[in-house]
Amino acid sequence: MRNPGGTGKLEGMPELPDIAAYITALEPRIVGQRLERVRVGSPFLLRTVQPTLAEVEGQVVRQARRVGKRIAMGVENDLWLVLHLMIAGRLHWRGRQAKLAGRRTLAAFDFPDGSLVLTEAGSKHRASLHIVKGDAGLRALDAGGIEVLESDLEAFRAALTVENRTLKRALTDPRVVSGIGNAYSDEILHAAQLSPIAQTHKLKPEEWERLFVATQRTLELWVRRLRGEAEAGFPEKVTAFRKGMAVHGRYGEPCPRCGDKVLRIRYADKETNYCARCQTGGNVLADRSLSRLLGADWPRTLEELEALKRR
């Protein structure tokens, strides 16, 4: 989906640091509070039949936690409301009994001091709400990827080498790694100075260590930063494009490490941003659409790319 800010950039799904920020903002507002009512504005939002909405209404929220890229709100009787925001879903804290206005507003969760409102931009409503029972119900919604911030190097490497895949694909597969998507995988790979298309089975021991350290440090940095912002106010502008990111969403801008322009590979509704000088030994990675257009003229190095631009 296009970034609603009008920059032409592709919007992204909230990832681990964004979900952590939402939970930081939610905890003081809903934990210990009674969920008075759940109002659903879209018939496509609720994906489960049992337990019912009536069973969670009137119950006190006991905790909020992250399950992959989902937000889980646990209430009494071991019931959980689990939200998956997908690409365009966003949460907002509004006044008590906030109206369900317009097609973008999918649901409102009413509490004594305000309403948690779920909206989704665009016409394709992909956000979902599941109501499940106990840890077993939560596990059924968890793709099973490792929690990197709770992992060690050995477990990290083992998870990413079950199959031989590109680093970009391995990092963003929820069955392999929990909570990482398009944006933070770009930042991690830039920090590790590794190519997004490097194969997991071909990485050297020192490269695995760089990747593991970069993954933990990048996530810790952004979790700390976004949680700090959430403590000051509810995160109303959750986006995949953050000020201070090194490469994600910065196509054509200078790499903060070497100064060369950030490049990208575009595919479907996603893009990978990288620095050729820092990550690929100066080699320009083929973009499928441009490769088809340019054929044999596709530039293989930064020098060839610059020469092509001067034509």
Under DSSP, is residue 19 helix (H, G, I), strand (E, B) or coil?
helix
- Where residue 6 falls among pLDDT bands split at 50, 70, 90? very low
CB 211 within 8 A of CB 193: no
- Where residue 268 falls among pLDDT bands split at 50, 70, 90? low
Q: Is the per-residue pLDDT at 186 higher than 90?
A: yes
Q: Is the per-residue pLDDT at 249 higher than 80?
A: yes
pLDDT for the residue 10: 42
pTM, full prediction:
0.89
Under DSSP, is residue 228 helix (H, G, I), strand (E, B) or coil?
helix
- Spatial separation of the C-alpha atoms in residues 44 and 46, rounded to whole Å: 6
- Spatial separation of the C-alpha atoms in residues 187 and 171, rounded to whole Å: 11
pLDDT for the residue 161: 98
- Spatial separation of the C-alpha atoms in residues 244 and 222, rounded to whole Å: 10
CB 141 within 8 A of CB 132: yes
Under DSSP, is residue 27 helix (H, G, I), strand (E, B) or coil?
helix
- The one-letter code for the residue type at 288 is R
What's the average model confidence in pLDDT over 255-268? Answer: 90
How far apart, in Å, are the Cα atoms of 10 and each of 1, 5, 175? 5, 10, 24
Ranges of CATH 3.20.190.10 domains, the chain:
16-141
The yes/no answer on whether domain 16-141 falls in CATH 3.40.109.10 is no
Query: Which CATH code, of 1.20.140.10, 1.10.8.50, 3.30.420.40, 3.40.630.30, is assigned to 148-231?
Result: 1.10.8.50
| Other Cβ atoms closer than 10 A to 232 | 8
Cross-strand pairs, 245: none
Long-range (24+ apart) CB contacts under 8 A made by 190-194 are 190/246, 190/247, 190/255, 190/257, 190/274, 190/275, 190/278, 190/279, 191/217, 191/218, 191/246, 193/278, 193/279, 194/167, 194/279
- Spatial separation of the C-alpha atoms in residues 24 and 245, rounded to whole Å: 21
pLDDT for the residue 11: 61
What's the average model confidence in pLDDT over 163-186? Answer: 96
Largest CA distance in the chain: 68
For 26-61, give one letter per residue: b (16+ CB within 10 A) or e.
Answer: beebbeeebbeebbbbbeebbeeeebebeebeebeb
Whole-number percent of the chain with pLDDT over 70: 88
Ranges of CATH 1.10.8.50 domains, the chain:
148-231
- Where residue 19 falls among pLDDT bands split at 50, 70, 90? very high
| Predicted confidence (pLDDT) per residue in 36-48, tens digit | 999 999 889 999 9
